[in-house]
Amino acid sequence: MAAFKHFQNMYDISLKPRLLRSLIRDHLPDEKHPFPRPSELSIVVSAIKTHGLLFESCREPVDPKQVDNWKTAIDAWVERLLLLASSKMPDKCWAGICLLGLTCQDCSSDRFLASYSVWFQKLVAQIQPPSASHFVKVASCASLADLFTRLGGFSNLKKDGTSHAGKLIQPILELLSDDSSEAVWEGAVDLLRSILIYFPASVHRHYDTVEAIIVSRIMSEKCSATISKFVYCLALLPKSKGDEVSWSLMMQKILISINAHLDDAFQGLEEETKSNEVIRHLVPPGKEPPPPLGGQPMSGEASNQATKASEQFILHRVSLLVCSCCTMLTNPYTIQVTIPVRPLLALVRRVLMVDGSLSQALLPFFTVIQQESICSDLPLLHLCTLDLLTAIIKGVRSQLLPHAADVVRLLTEYFRRCALPALRIKVYSIMRVLLISMGVGMALYLAQEVTNNAIIDLDFIAYGWGRASYNPNSKATTEALHQPSHRKRKHSTITASFQVQQSGVGREVETVKNKQVTPIAVQIAALQALEALLTVGGALRSESWRSNLDLLLITVATNAYDGEWANEEKGISVLSFEPNCTWAEFQLAALRALLASFLSPSRVRPRYLSDGLELFRRGKQEIGTKLAEFCAHALLALEVLIHPRSLPLVDISSRSQGEFVSSFDHRLPENLFSVSQKNNNCTFPGDILVMDDPELDDDLYSSWLGNGEETDVPMSVPDKQLRSAQELCGKDVWQATGDCLAEKILSDSTGALFLMEGDGGATGAAHMEIGGNGNVIMTESEQVQEIVRNNDVEAQDKDIVISTGSFTLIEGKPKKGKAESNRIYASKVATTISSFSVVNGMDSSDPVAAAATAKSTPAQGGLITTLISEKGRGLSLEYNTDASMDSFPDIVDGDPDSD
């Protein structure tokens, strides 16, 4: 290479071989040069990684000469590495092996396939006895693991890989059973894991030995960081056989072993029968129990002697074995297996039921020290067990259904007693998983429990006596954000909700008073659980908790904001006990839950929507934070609440007779649907389906348009009536939003449309009036909100009748009458009745039509129908002749049921 042939730039391909050669020359040792400082090696590694010196491929086609040049440079590199790897000097050998591992990872596929078996031989030699240095052993294990990881990517080489890996098992087992250093074990177990993942079949022959060695490591009293890797390998082990029996057997063995350990640990803390319960599920009566885990006797008298000495390790071992179960449950397996749900759940129940309390009879036999040691270890065990419960839920998926009620009962029971932050966080997260995966049925079960607990955990932040003392402004902020009228309501609700709690939960309220603050992490978990609850089950049977929850969430979010959003990077958390949970995360969780509260369907418009929008707007200004990203998303999601639209899913305009056009069968001479469209022009949103003008697809747009054009059209109805009708609509639309039907419409103006079309006198003018009403509603929304707030559920329920049309005429009346006779919401009822008669007016304005409507429900029985239709005629007459407010009381009086 000419010394003056310069490179184009730093991306130039001819740079790479040159760099590589310089590295080989300057930084790598060879036979003559001694090993440089280890930092030299890191220069080499970083250069190789940064410039991709071993890739041997580039994006754009280049001169083959340069490719050749690169190739020979890498040839030289590999040659040097192999030379180093066979060196007698341990440091040179180590460098060669390490870099060979890197080469396995980075080099081109062709090169790897051509030379991996040579490299394999080189590396294997280093983990076998003659090699003395631990350093070299660890490095060779890592390099071999990478070799297999790379090899696992080539699906056509499974067989070859398996045979290579098979040669390694024996040496690995020797490394593991040697009483050598921890680092070597770690390297060996990592290698074993790679082999189990990519070439499990190679372990088949040594299955029992591998199991025994792994188990003996887990059972040994040395606790260390690497132990979790052994646990993981144990869970992967059944893959080497790949059949259902070995998976089930392993699971069974582990469970029996856990149970035996628990027998030792829980002596005196629970009833003796608990242990048998698990065993009964695991080993059906009359069947032989499987051989013990790892081939050594774990239970029985002999082991009791041994384990007694190491009591403090029992619970630690149990948690390791539980971890192994979790891995088995959540990791994919090659074929379908039967998960022993019952014993698993029995085991979970057994552990969670033990809280360290002693039965009275056993007090004399138990020293305080014994109890202390058990109690100090129990939380960790509970944590593992809750993890196991999560794994069970994940593993069995929809098949949890038959056991779901059991799980929920266990969990809620546990939740009531659970007081440690870490455990509460776990329980919240399990509830979240359950809610999201099992849907509304689960929400019906869990709603009350989640709400009660979350209110307790969030109380101080919600009601100001925790954070408020820290920041005196926060309360003022809250008050400023709420209108005075809201505040009154709010406080009453708070007291109400607390009364509910006190009667419902009782004991916890006492503890709440003593508790200073709930850790932020727990509060975040509580908010996330609430978010899940609202996401899944906000609408069904939610009356009892929904309004409290909405209030709680806006209060929490408002207080969380307290004037400024926390800086995510700073990570300052005044109240946090855990370093990784910051105030910023709490704010994010609060806003997420708030969004769910707005979006979750309910019968009225979200009460605190404008407060919430303000929070999201301010949050969005925190540029570059997760919070801002989320707020932008929230504003987008809430836009449809402000501008409701009900667009058809099938967009006609954009699909211009696409793929099916050739196969259309034009046998229908005339399109009936479009004919009907001509008849009743634009009177309902459904018509959008057939509209030709693409602009009319947007019903919101068309309603705006209609609004503008037709304001000056003379009213065909007396002013007074129109005004009353407008008032009616203003009120009723909001009640109508309560019912599902109107939510479907999702549109204030459309909602008005659908009520107003009932106006029989103004069929032609119906559409433009609607536009007008839409406006009224928008501006009157505050007042309307107020009305709805004072409204109670009972009164709202009546309004459903409005939407159900002619049929409910029959049964709607008695209902009205009852409400009237109660005279509780007299004014309200009058309103509903008047609106009712407006709707009726449409059916009955034309006497013939009224009769026809009545007759069209023959199933309802003759007598009543005719009676009603008679009444309808009278009604309509009154309506038509004197269409003023005065006529409505007459109608009410005319109803025999109303008084």
Partner 1 sequence: MEVVIASSPVDAGIGCWDLHSGAEQLRYRSCTSTPHGLACVGQRFLASSQLRDSSSSSGSILYWSWSKPQVEVKSFPAEPIHPLVSNSDGMYIIGGGSSGAIYFWEVASGRLLKRWHAHYRAVTCLFLSDDESLLVSGAEDGCIRVWSLFMVFDDIGMEMAKNPYEYSFSEHTLRVTDMVSGYGGCNAIIVSASEDRTCKVWSLSRGKLLRSIDFPSIIEAVALDPGEHVFYAGARDGKIYIASINAETTSSNSYGKHIIGTLSDNSKGVTCLAFSKDGILLVSGSEDGTIRVWDAKTHNIVRIYRLAKGPVNNVLVVRRPLYSNRQTSENSHSSFSRRHAPLLPPPLGKYVNSTDENVDSGAVSVPQTPSSDIMDAPYLSYHVLTKQISELQVFFIFLS
CB of 745 to partner 1, least distance (A): 5
Binding track over 191-210 against partner 1, x by CB under 8 A: --xx--xx------------
The window from 56-64, 315-323, 441-449, 873-881 that contacts partner 1 (CB under 8 A) reads: 441-449
Dihedral angle over CA of 359, 363, 366, 372, nearest 10: 70
**Geometric angle at alpha carbon 16, from 13 and 19, rounded to 5°:** 150
Whether the CB-CB separation of 221 and 182 falls below 8 Å is answered with: no
C-alpha–C-alpha distance, residues 236 and 219, integer Å: 18
- Site membership for partner 1, residue 189 (CB under 8 A): no
Q: Which amino acid is at 34?
A: P
Select from 352, 499, 491 the least CA-distant residue to 427. 352
- Site membership for partner 1, residue 744 (CB under 8 A): yes
| Closer residue to partner 1 (CB): 188 or 575 | 188
- Site membership for partner 1, residue 701 (CB under 8 A): no
| Closer residue to partner 1 (CB): 99 or 462 | 99
Between residue 300 and residue 329, which ones bind partner 1 under the rule CB under 8 A?
329
Between residue 385 and residue 414, which ones bind partner 1 under the rule CB under 8 A?
395-405, 408-409
Among 143, 737, 773, 775, binds partner 1 (CB under 8 A): 143
C-alpha–C-alpha distance, residues 688 and 702, integer Å: 10
| Closer residue to partner 1 (CB): 161 or 538 | 538
- Give the SS3 label for residue 751: helix
C-alpha–C-alpha distance, residues 794 and 540, integer Å: 16
The window from 14-22, 207-215, 421-429, 651-659 that contacts partner 1 (CB under 8 A) reads: 651-659
CB of 438 to partner 1, least distance (A): 6
- Site membership for partner 1, residue 376 (CB under 8 A): no
Q: Which amino acid is at 131?
A: S
DSSP code string of 140-173: HHHHHHHHHHHHHT-GGGHHHHHHHHHHHHHHHH
CB of 741 to partner 1, least distance (A): 5
| Closer residue to partner 1 (CB): 220 or 857 | 857
CB of 383 to partner 1, least distance (A): 22
| Closer residue to partner 1 (CB): 615 or 842 | 842
Between residue 518 and residue 557, which ones bind partner 1 under the rule CB under 8 A?
536-541
- Site membership for partner 1, residue 862 (CB under 8 A): no
Whether the CB-CB separation of 726 and 715 falls below 8 Å is answered with: no
| Closer residue to partner 1 (CB): 20 or 456 | 20
Between residue 593 and residue 622, which ones bind partner 1 under the rule CB under 8 A?
601, 603
Select from 892, 838, 820, 875 the least CA-distant residue to 724. 838
Between residue 788 and residue 827, which ones bind partner 1 under the rule CB under 8 A?
800, 803-808
- Site membership for partner 1, residue 693 (CB under 8 A): no
The window from 373-381, 618-626, 629-637, 669-677 that contacts partner 1 (CB under 8 A) reads: 669-677
C-alpha–C-alpha distance, residues 218 and 224, integer Å: 10
- Give the SS3 label for residue 608: coil
In 146-166, which positions are buried (b, 16+ CB within 10 angstroms) versus exposed (e)?
bbbebbbeeeeeeeebbebbb
C-alpha–C-alpha distance, residues 889 and 223, integer Å: 84
Between residue 56 and residue 95, which ones bind partner 1 under the rule CB under 8 A?
94
Whole-Å CA distances, 196 to 159, 173, 713: 14, 14, 81
CB of 212 to partner 1, least distance (A): 24
C-alpha–C-alpha distance, residues 181 and 14, integer Å: 45
Between residue 146 and residue 185, which ones bind partner 1 under the rule CB under 8 A?
146, 149-150, 152-153
Between residue 252 and residue 281, which ones bind partner 1 under the rule CB under 8 A?
280-281
Among 357, 663, 827, 881, binds partner 1 (CB under 8 A): 663
Under rule CB under 8 A, how many of the chain's residues touch partner 1?
134
The window from 136-144, 453-461, 521-529, 825-833 that contacts partner 1 (CB under 8 A) reads: 136-144
Among 449, 757, 769, 878, binds partner 1 (CB under 8 A): 757
Tokens of 318: 């149990």
CB of 67 to partner 1, least distance (A): 25
Among 375, 419, 647, 826, binds partner 1 (CB under 8 A): 647
Whole-Å CA distances, 683 to 679, 718, 755, 762, 764: 10, 22, 12, 12, 9
The window from 333-341, 379-387, 470-478, 564-572 that contacts partner 1 (CB under 8 A) reads: 333-341
Whether the CB-CB separation of 339 and 395 falls below 8 Å is answered with: yes
